[in-house]
Structure 1
Amino acid sequence: MHKLGRKLFYCFLVVLTINLSLGGLVKVASASTDSFYRMDARAAYAIDADTGQVLYQKNANKTYPIASLTKILTLAVIEQDIRDHKLSWNQKIKITPAVAKVANDWHFSNVQLNAGESYTVRQLAESMMIVSADGSTEALALADAGSTAAFNKKMQAMARKAGVTDAKIYNMIGLPNKDLGKNKLKGVDGDAENKLSAKDLALISQYMIKHYPETLKITKKKFANFKITEGQEYQMVNINALLPQNGYAPKDWEIDGLKTGNTDAAGKCIVTTGTYMGHRVILVGLHTKGDWNNQSKMQKEFYEKLAASYQPVELQNIQQLSKRVQHTRIVHAKKHRTVSLALAKKSTWIWVPRNTTWKQTHPTVVIKHSKQSLTGRLEAPVKKGQRVGYLNLQLQGLPEMQIPIKATQTIASRGFWK
């Protein structure tokens, strides 16, 4: 072949390779399946708490008012400060008149707090999570940071740790700013409310359960006594209707958290979590339709349909999926050879349709690199153990699953993964 002809032919091959790679990536990105479940809510999101596998999503990245779901983030801050010995569970907090005014306002979710009385951090935290007590929440935050603004900064820092970078936080409770009276933020609209997405709340809940598992010891309590003053107690009844033996407890699941919320702007909101066969799932619903019973019914249906149609299965290596996706070819100078790939982690658990095979998940390899993410090829040098892309699985009724993969050897000189 003429020298110029060879160059043109080579350029044609390069363009063809890039187009094929781009076509594959577009196909992966656009592939979708009908969801096994529909939640009648403004937004929703569900994940496996250990792997992060997305099990359901609806408007998951849009931010909305979240009402008292805010208290999940509030408690995470309190628990971290207890870890850092800035607070202790048995520490007593004296109630100010301003906090007592919020605590004893019938418009809000509360247990009675008397000005001048002292209550332990544990008492206040339990009432915050079990019956969503707004006054208790305010008392905790102000004792911890000194002001609403200072505690907001702590909440935003905690959200960033959980992977949330755009949290709109105005107070520790989730009420409109004006409802905090003396402790509201100055220079901020009175109707301003905390806003997060359903995905944000799932990430925060996931972070909290992983780093502060003691949270679940509080949220799974069905009953707890709150001592208001000497000789006066209030029996708190957990408002989570999905807890075991409650009316909407899902079959075969052990629900042990997490929080509900409600304001005019946010509507009825909920985050629940529980385990099935040792695997924890987190489910978020924002502005769910209907009454509280309908909200609980929808959540119950999600858990039961998930367990009926899917099961968590351990993927230990690529060979389980297909020999075809175990290897990839590397063009190295004029030589061709095969290089094997491996899972980035030793194994991972994946929710898959019951009575299905790995082959039916249509596994495909997507090579992705920060410098050449659009070509589908990875240029050498490549180090052994370096993540080079992911495996894409199509799971009927669930969002696609992406599993990170790594190279199993070092390629020092120039060449291209294909």
Structure 2
Amino acid sequence: MKVSFQKQMFAVVTIFTLLCSMLFTYSSASAATNPALDVQGEAAILVEASSGKILYEKNPDASLPIASMTKMMTEYIVHEAVEKGKIKWNQKTQISDYAHTISQDRSLSNVPLEKGGSYTVKELYEAMAIYSANGATIALAELIGGSEANFLKIMDEKAKELGMKNYKFVNATGLTNKDLKGQQPPGTSPDEENKMSAKDCAILAQRLITDYPDALDTAKITKKVFQEGGKYPVQMDNWNWMLKGLVYSYDGVDGLKTGSTPEAGYCFTGTAKRGDMRLIAVVIKTNSYKARFDETKKLFDYGFSSFEAKELYPKGYQLKDKKTAAVAKGKEKEVGIETAKAIQIAVPKGEKAPYKIGYQFDKKEVIAPIKKGTKVGYMTIASKDGSDPGFLSGKELKTELVTKENVEKANWFVLAMRGIGSFFSNLWAGAVDTVKGWF
């Protein structure tokens, strides 16, 4: 009896020890892949750019002053206006009294503009994107909107379209309105300043570099002379000191936009690419010029060391038990469906995809005739972990489902026969149900 009891106790102790060891190992692994980052600042977020997967967040939805990071919206609208043919890069625009007055204040970030002078859209855009020139930004806003007040309406409409939720625009530049010499847009207060959440900044940055990747060609320029060879050339040094060759150079950084005012503190929306993975980091209201880059470095170090970008679902992916969609009025009653594009998502290094997928169809049936590539719905991708922060788009990431082949419309005779068959089938089913009711 004693020997048997000792064996049982030994087995219990052994199992308990193994369990403790496993729990300790799991806890250590979790701590290694999800460190409690001590990011100094009012708000911050880190996302993988391709999918918008959120890797870290701190007060992501708080609406806070963001200073010149506002100019990312102005940049987006300029690129869109060029794409739609409303303006051209080599087009010249005349400088208003308002834009001229603001441009002369060198206590603000500016390139002095001539009153009544003409500059190309490209020159003004570069001054805005590289040197954060405020007068140049106003000139672009007036060109596109007719006035800064009208441009604010365009900014609001674009923010809604992009899915931003926590923002307020009171000017095109990001300056506090009191710096606009009493010429702030009508309906706005002299004490107001633009506000956005860290998540909204990340959404805007993601869309800017996805929809207009050439924006980075300008954002990564470290030095350039404005109006070189002209009457008033100005040396423009990029305020993003994480760019290659600058003070806080970080491997892979090629954008995007700094900002600072007394109310906003020191802010930065940065992006860096290494290998197949691009990250976007936002920090808002840090306490010094250097701090915004130090905190961004923490985020980038964490992202690149802890995650890897994987193509989890290739273009043409089909869920095993849902490879088709129902077709109405077609020669075939079903059509093959697949994803329209490949999906790349950041995954913790060493882990398999921790995601579940599902389908959302636009309608129960697709009506023939159908062309290959017709959108029929979405494949949804969501984390299996309910506490996961998800994506910039929400808890789920959506990718379009499209038809895999053409489906012709069935002729009238086939449709008529199907109708007759359906009628008798329903009639028979009704009769069977009636008879069953008798017993």
Please report the TM-score for the alignment, with normalisation by the length of structure 1. 0.72
| Partner residue in 2 for 1:270 | 268
Deviation at 1:103, TM superposition (A): 0.8
Give the whole-Å Cα distance in 2 for the aligned partners of 1:247 and 1:144: 36
Alpha-carbon distance change, 266 to 161 in structure 1, aligned in 2, over 3 angstroms = same
Q: Which is further off, 178-187 or 112-121?
A: 178-187
Give the whole-Å Cα distance in 2 for the aligned partners of 1:381 and 1:133: 53
| Partner residue in 1 for 2:334 | none
The aligned amino acid for 1:274 is A
Deviations 1:367-413 (A, max 9, x none): 9999xxxxxxxxx979997658654244999869755699xxxxxxx
Structure 1 gaps of 5+ residues are 1-31, 318-324, 329-341, 371-379, 407-418
> 2:47, 2:55 within 8 Å by CA — same for their partners in 1?
yes
Deviation at 1:188, TM superposition (A): 2.4
Give the whole-Å Cα distance in 2 for the aligned partners of 1:151 and 1:187: 13
Q: Where in structure 2 are the equivalents of 1:115-130 lying within 5 Å?
A: 115-130=115-130
Q: Which of 383, 390, 395 does residue 392 from structure 1 map onto? A: 383
Alpha-carbon distance change, 388 to 350 in structure 1, aligned in 2, over 3 angstroms = closer
Matching of residue 188 in structure 1 with residue 188 in structure 2: yes
| Partner residue in 2 for 1:142 | 142
Give the whole-Å Cα distance in 1 for the aligned partners of 2:346 and 2:258: 26
Q: Which of 295, 298, 303 does residue 298 from structure 1 map onto? A: 295
Q: Where in structure 2 are the equivalents of 1:346-365 lying within 5 Å?
A: 347-358=342-353, 361=354
| Partner residue in 1 for 2:65 | 65
Give the whole-Å Cα distance in 2 for the aligned partners of 1:308 and 1:166: 31
Q: Which of 313, 317, 337 does residue 316 from structure 1 map onto? A: 313
Alpha-carbon distance change, 109 to 247 in structure 1, aligned in 2, over 3 angstroms = same
> 1:270, 1:285 within 8 Å by CA — same for their partners in 2?
yes
Deviations 1:137-173 (A, max 9, x none): 1111112222121011111122122112553111100
Give the whole-Å Cα distance in 2 for the aligned partners of 1:398 and 1:389: 16
Deviations 1:272-328 (A, max 9, x none): 11212122221111112x3211211221232123212221122238xxxxxxx9889
Give the whole-Å Cα distance in 1 for the aligned partners of 2:380 and 2:73: 33
Give the whole-Å Cα distance in 2 for the aligned partners of 1:391 and 1:187: 42
Deviations 1:233-269 (A, max 9, x none): 2221111111123232324xx2111100111111111
Deviations 1:105-126 (A, max 9, x none): 1331111212132221111111
Alpha-carbon distance change, 293 to 86 in structure 1, aligned in 2, over 3 angstroms = same
Secondary structure at the aligned position of 1:41 is classed as: coil
> 2:307, 2:349 within 8 Å by CA — same for their partners in 1?
yes
Give the whole-Å Cα distance in 2 for the aligned partners of 1:172 and 1:163: 19
Give the whole-Å Cα distance in 2 for the aligned partners of 1:286 and 1:391: 28
Matching of residue 282 in structure 1 with residue 280 in structure 2: yes
Secondary structure at the aligned position of 2:167 is classed as: coil
Q: Percent identity?
A: 31
Alpha-carbon distance change, 132 to 365 in structure 1, aligned in 2, over 3 angstroms = closer
Larger Rg: 2
Give the whole-Å Cα distance in 1 for the aligned partners of 2:66 and 2:121: 24
Give the whole-Å Cα distance in 2 for the aligned partners of 1:182 and 1:228: 32
| Partner residue in 2 for 1:220 | 220
Give the whole-Å Cα distance in 2 for the aligned partners of 1:54 and 1:366: 20
| Partner residue in 1 for 2:56 | 56
Structure 2 gaps of 5+ residues are 1-30, 323-336, 367-374, 402-439
Deviations 1:7-55 (A, max 9, x none): xxxxxxxxxxxxxxxxxxxxxxxxx995453321111122222111111
| Partner residue in 2 for 1:203 | 203
Alpha-carbon distance change, 354 to 398 in structure 1, aligned in 2, over 3 angstroms = farther
Count residues with an aligned counterpart: 346
> 1:34, 1:398 within 8 Å by CA — same for their partners in 2?
no
Alpha-carbon distance change, 213 to 190 in structure 1, aligned in 2, over 3 angstroms = same
Give the whole-Å Cα distance in 1 for the aligned partners of 2:202 and 2:242: 18
The aligned amino acid for 1:215 is A
Q: Which is further off, 274-283 or 224-233?
A: 224-233
Deviation at 1:95, TM superposition (A): 2.1
> 2:109, 2:133 within 8 Å by CA — same for their partners in 1?
yes
